[in-house]
Amino acid sequence: MIAIRNLSLFGVLFGFVVVALGAWTRLVDAGLGCPDWPGCYGFVVFPTSEAEVAIAEARFPQFPYDINKAIPEVVHRYFAATLGLVAIMLSYISFKQREDINIRYWCLGLLVFICCQGLFGYLTVSLKLLPIIVTGHLFGGFITVSLFFFIFVRAGNFDLLDRFNIQSLKYIALTCLVLLLIQIFLGAWTSTNYASLACPDFPTCQGSFSPEMDFKTGFSFDQEVGPNYLYGLLDNPSRVAIHYSHRVTALILTFAYLILISRLWFTAAAPLASTVGVILLTQISLGIMNVVYVLPLYIAIAHNLVAAMLLISTLMINYLAWKKSA
């Protein structure tokens, strides 16, 4: 179990890197930096020489080659593939040990999920950034990190966690987890539809607390794409509806977390309350800074990473809250 614990911890940390690289790829509009999959313009790595670039552009004349977009895409792919290898190793080790039979099914489930993530990566390219596919791919990155973390906690068998009896908080903890997953999905949908700057001011949106919004079009998951979806096709009211939904859900989520933190504070798990509070405050600040400073790259990437931190900390609270009653 020590090997599983250490390898799953590595998977968590490496998963954060993959999430950051995925955010980087998305934010610099490099989703089609390589118009084919798994290669890049037919090459194992991206073209570098003038001759290779000429071959690449002859193969895909409708996609002019841009090395500044090919690099993020290729780097993201290879790091994600490495994470898949970690999952394979984890599954192999889990079937060799006999201490916890059930953990092998979690490891195998993780491997299957990462394979599905690879499929979504392929569909992202082949379907030319179809919004629902890209959103699912981004959302799946957070789930991957969560699965690695769950396996780490289960394999760790930490005696210290037995002191935290927070069974009475299981329903508010579960509520926060569900709301957070919805919020992460909305954040991915916001990014996918290029709606991050649809509201360029804060706390108002386009100078109003009730701007013109089109929810029907904004949340149409079967929308047409055209040649590709680079830079998006939605009109302004649709993007405002998406962005505003993300903001409103953030308010609801914050209120739910404040209840959870206040109740955690008076238990043995008070350090968790402090941790979640700091992460939540950081995430809110990063979200506001994204709007005020017009989506700086590193702040936007940090917004993704802190969301993943909030997710695994919430997952830990749920693990403790539901473990006693399992």
CB atoms within 10 A of CB 297: 11
According to the model, what pLDDT value does residue 326 have?
42
According to the model, what pLDDT value does residue 221 have?
87
Q: Is a pLDDT exceeding 60 seen at residue 226?
A: no
According to the model, what pLDDT value does residue 269 have?
87
Q: What is the 3-state secondary structure (H, E, C) of 161-180?
A: HHHCCCHHHHHHHHHHHHHH
Domains of the chain, by residue range, sit at: 1-157, 163-326
Looking at per-residue confidence, does 222 or 184 come out higher? Answer: 184
> Is 224 noted as a catalytic residue in this protein?
no
Apex 297 CA angle, 43 and 25, nearest 5: 25
For the stretch 237-259, pLDDT in tens is 999 999 999 999 999 999 999 99
Average pLDDT over residues 14-27: 96
Question: Is residue 31 classed exposed, middle or buried when 0-12, 13-18 and 19+ CB atoms within 10 A define those classes?
Answer: buried
Residue 308 in contact with residue 19, Cβ under 8 Å? yes
- What DSSP letter does each residue of 181-214 carry, written as one string? HHHHHHHHHHHHTT-TTSS-SSSSBTTBSS----
Look up the pTM and report it: 0.94
According to the model, what pLDDT value does residue 276 have?
97
Q: Is a pLDDT exceeding 60 seen at residue 7?
A: yes
In angstroms, the CA 301 to CA 69 distance is 16
Looking at per-residue confidence, does 241 or 166 come out higher? Answer: 241
Average pLDDT over residues 146-162: 86
Q: Is a pLDDT exceeding 80 seen at residue 118?
A: yes
According to the model, what pLDDT value does residue 123 have?
94
- Residue 325's pLDDT band (cuts 50, 70, 90): very low
Given the residues 73, 99, 212, 224, the one annotated as active site: 73
According to the model, what pLDDT value does residue 163 have?
78
Apex 44 CA angle, 38 and 47, nearest 5: 115
